[in-house]
Structure 1
């Protein structure tokens, strides 16, 4: 156990320290793909293999009811301070009051993460790294970690809305968005705001591995719609949204 704790301390690399400083000062931070890969020890082959899971997502029927074409899956983990990661039983996804205005206290049932996704060698170090980042916001012994791979689809006559609810909070401690890929897409600008509405950060996640981090307790976030660059083809934007909540 002591060795594991020492390993966890060693993961506080320069990119994680930079994330800590930004989250504590402004509430948001963008970590570059190079920095993320440095933290995870991954290369382009690992990223390509991880991105392949986005070809095996399931329709989001709740978003479809509101005119948004979205594919997704969902999984819930427990992450201890020492890095022990446990997949929890698959249950409905429920967001707390005063967060997402479209689905307050609504039980939404999504297809679970595939076994291959859970076993992917990139996932565990990613979630552990996010736990290290979140440690600057709360000294939690355990984190509730919710994992949402998303694909938003747009066509010439239908824009893709990554956040149809608009600016919102998720009711968690740390909210993160990792770009997995974009195809034929323009738009998809990510913005973070203070609770007073002042803009904190605006960026377009355009390169695979770019990671947007936000202190969800003190900020709101939203993403503008995407549209196709080539109107004769559909467009899509793939992200992994992961939230951590101190238990």
Structure 2
């Protein structure tokens, strides 16, 4: 298989994938949050184990997040911006720009121009990424009938030692000012913690889960919830802890 060719749409022909997507859409619309099991994510994207290994290798090509480092967090990342036409599935990479979060969202970085390295060409072309983004576009359709989605893509790696540094969300509980926010676990090693929690506007927990199996996908309606992730720490204090995720947000363009 050509690793740079898109996968066929698995939802077009597989009942299990259709059922998983329908469940995600229904729960997300009703409760504002949904956790997709790895088997469902793999079925919905058409990815196999070999494709996933290729996809996860992109996390070895991330760059240091200097903004997080100023606050003592060892975090690596890149950033990219796409548009998606729900009617056709057409996905297009947009020109690289600074990343800015709107007012009343992220208390550390709102309205701050942050400059991150762009996604690599191999990452942009990876069929797993493209299938994941289309899956998210279909799922977000349960929240808004957008003619076009603006999709912002953030691959993250957070590292921690016994002395600290492992803060996936140094800003704490926050919103991103979007419609759908998702966190896809790529992998983790020697790590404890990293619990993802989604809250209602009053601060009550809606769902709390530790993403510990690759391809676990947490979805939440950012318009009516907040979210945060607890620190990671090493299980073996003599080696670093690692947590790799893909955070993706969707907003009508």
- For normalisation by structure 2, the TM-score amounts to 0.93
The 1:152/1:9 distance shift into structure 2, 3 A limit, reads closer
Q: Shift in Å at residue 97 of structure 1?
A: 0.3
- What is the alpha-carbon distance in structure 2 between the residues aligned to residue 231 and residue 83 of structure 1? 46
Which of 124, 130, 135 is residue 129 of structure 1 equivalent to?
A: 135
Structure 2 residue 220 is matched with structure 1 residue 214: yes
Q: Shift in Å at residue 159 of structure 1?
A: 3.6
SS in 2 for 1:13: helix
Q: CA RMSD in A?
A: 1.3
For 1:61, the equivalent position in structure 2 comes to 66
For 1:41, the equivalent position in structure 2 comes to 46
- What is the alpha-carbon distance in structure 2 between the residues aligned to residue 31 and residue 139 of structure 1? 22
The 1:9/1:158 distance shift into structure 2, 3 A limit, reads closer
- What is the alpha-carbon distance in structure 2 between the residues aligned to residue 238 and residue 111 of structure 1? 17
- What is the alpha-carbon distance in structure 1 between the residues aligned to residue 105 and residue 12 of structure 2? 35
For 1:86, the equivalent position in structure 2 comes to 92
- What is the alpha-carbon distance in structure 2 between the residues aligned to residue 86 and residue 79 of structure 1? 7
Which aligned runs of 4 or more in structure 1 are off by greater than 3 angstroms?
7-12
Q: Shift in Å at residue 9 of structure 1?
A: 7.7
Structure 2 residue 242 is matched with structure 1 residue 240: no
Larger CA deviation: 173-182 vs 13-22: 13-22
For 1:77, the equivalent position in structure 2 comes to 82
For 2:229, the equivalent position in structure 1 comes to 223
- What is the alpha-carbon distance in structure 2 between the residues aligned to residue 158 and residue 98 of structure 1? 28
- What is the alpha-carbon distance in structure 1 between the residues aligned to residue 64 and residue 40 of structure 2? 32
Q: Shift in Å at residue 45 of structure 1?
A: 0.9
- What is the alpha-carbon distance in structure 2 between the residues aligned to residue 193 and residue 244 of structure 1? 19
Unaligned runs of 5+ in 1: 1-6
Structure 2 residue 147 is matched with structure 1 residue 141: yes
Cα deviation digits, residues 182-217 of structure 1 (max 9, x gap) = 010000000000011111000000000000000000
- For normalisation by structure 1, the TM-score amounts to 0.95
- What is the alpha-carbon distance in structure 1 between the residues aligned to residue 53 and residue 19 of structure 2? 25
- What is the alpha-carbon distance in structure 1 between the residues aligned to residue 165 and residue 78 of structure 2? 21
Structure 2 residue 175 is matched with structure 1 residue 173: no
Q: Shift in Å at residue 25 of structure 1?
A: 1.4
Q: Shift in Å at residue 179 of structure 1?
A: 0.1
For 1:4, the equivalent position in structure 2 comes to none
* Aligned positions, number: 241
Which of 161, 178, 188 is residue 155 of structure 1 equivalent to?
A: 161
Q: Shift in Å at residue 8 of structure 1?
A: 9.6
- What is the alpha-carbon distance in structure 1 between the residues aligned to residue 67 and residue 165 of structure 2? 17
- What is the alpha-carbon distance in structure 1 between the residues aligned to residue 151 and residue 176 of structure 2? 13
Cα deviation digits, residues 79-104 of structure 1 (max 9, x gap) = 01221101000000000000000011
Q: Shift in Å at residue 16 of structure 1?
A: 1.0
- What is the alpha-carbon distance in structure 1 between the residues aligned to residue 219 and residue 242 of structure 2? 22
- What is the alpha-carbon distance in structure 2 between the residues aligned to residue 152 and residue 225 of structure 1? 9
